[in-house]
Amino acid sequence: MAGLAGAAADSLAVLHSQSTLSSRWAVATLMADAVTPLAAVLQPTAAAATQRVEQVERWSLRVQQTAALHPPSSVDAALLDRPLAGAERITGRGPVDVVPDAVAVLLRATSATAHLPSVAEVLTYAVAAETVTALAQQLDTSAPLGTGHLAAPGWRAVREALRPYDDGSRRPQPYAPPPVIAAVRLQQSLTSAPPEVLLGDQAVRGVVAAAAQHMPTLAVQLLYRTVRTWADDGSLVAFARDLPPREDRLAPYLRGYQPAGLVRANAADLQPVVGALHNARLLSLAVAVRIDEAHPPGFPRRAQAANAEMLRRPEAAGALEAASREAARQVLLGRQRPQGHTRAR
């Protein structure tokens, strides 16, 4: 029991930066539900140990009684399904070993306490998310919420929205950070064979289905942490000619694709990226909730329940339709856009 308690405490400490007050309450409730039957089967011989077990039972009962009056939501409970990254270096080879570890690394790399990702890193993460959702779309599905919507174009639209912006990272680098290596390994493992061959393996289907449940969280963390920080810090630059025209940028606009034509991007300039990530999140939710697989042990059921709850909101259906149309439009515009100066600095 002490070992289990220690492991639970360590896990919560690792996830603390990604949790909220309500999600911590959900965790406390579920832990109390698990502790009560466990304490009941313990029969310590020492009097001091007996007192501690009885005290744990009393505390758990109080939590359960309070939870009966204020039950946590499934969205809050999804924190318990958040994968924990071990070593940043992915040592596995096949998709079954690589995908779970890589997803955990990406979620940690985009969390609030991690180093702020660069534009090049986010582009790599978007490629990995596009690969996961493209395969997840091909899994056997039922027909509940979000039927027919594809998430891969949403993540492709994120890459298109980031096209004009740079922070100095979009050039050859002497080395790749571990999260980038994890994203590349994930993409390579899921494209090492044709989709029909990969998805013919039930174990691969399971890890793809599980990974798809975490793609909405990846989009949320990129949206509310990474892009907002870029906007607040003014750390991105772009050619004024690639941004919506403004009177105060007339001079750099006329400079074209010369160094004098570069300006710092603010929050208004980054709205296309915000919109693309918002759409990618909605479309990833739609793909995640309609996966109807024989879930293996360890499948993030709480995360899937939270995803489904998000799509049950009254405004979700209309938002999904709009997100699907906008993602398709952005991808089409990207294909029609000529290769220009904004591709490389």
Q: Is residue 293 part of a domain?
A: yes
Residues 41, 168, single domain; the answer is no
Q: Is residue 305 part of a domain?
A: yes
Residues 168, 38, single domain; the answer is no
Q: Is residue 332 part of a domain?
A: yes
| DSSP designation for 296 | P
Residues 183, 216, single domain; the answer is yes
Q: Is residue 140 part of a domain?
A: yes
Q: Is residue 83 part of a domain?
A: no
28 vs 64: CA distance, rounded Å: 9
Residues 57, 120, single domain; the answer is no
Q: Is residue 324 part of a domain?
A: yes
Give the domain extent around 26: 2-72
User: Hey, what amino acid is at 269?
Assistant: D
How does pLDDT run along the chain (345 residues), one tens digit per residue? 556 666 666 666 666 666 677 777 777 776 777 776 776 676 666 666 677 777 777 777 777 777 776 776 666 666 666 676 665 677 777 898 899 999 999 998 998 778 899 999 999 999 999 999 999 988 855 544 445 578 899 999 999 999 999 999 988 888 889 999 999 999 999 998 898 898 888 889 999 999 999 999 999 999 998 999 999 989 999 999 998 888 889 999 999 999 999 999 999 999 999 999 999 999 999 999 888 655 666 788 888 888 888 888 888 888 888 888 888 888 887 776 665 555 444
* SS3 state at 18: helix
Query: How many structural domains is the chain composed of?
Result: 2
252 vs 97: CA distance, rounded Å: 49
Residues 208, 335, single domain; the answer is yes
Q: Give the pTM.
A: 0.79
Q: Is residue 81 part of a domain?
A: no
DSSP string, 182-241: HHHHHHHHTSSS-HHHHTTSHHHHHHHHHHHTTHHHHHHHIIIIIIHHHHHHT--EEEGG
Spatial contact of 70 and 29, defined as CB atoms under 8 Å apart: no
Site of tokens 């995640």: 288
Last residue in a domain, options 11, 39, 72: 72
Residues 206, 324, single domain; the answer is yes
* SS3 state at 264: strand
Residues 95, 23, single domain; the answer is no
219 vs 107: CA distance, rounded Å: 10
Residues 135, 274, single domain; the answer is yes
List, in sequence order, the alpha helices (H) in the chain: 2-15, 21-41, 47-69, 74-77, 95-109, 119-136, 152-161, 178-189, 195-198, 202-212, 215-221, 228-233, 250-255, 271-289, 301-311, 316-336
Residues 213, 317, single domain; the answer is yes
Beta bridge partners of 239: 262
Residues 151, 17, single domain; the answer is no
Residues 166, 102, single domain; the answer is yes
Q: Is residue 118 part of a domain?
A: yes
Residues 111, 7, single domain; the answer is no
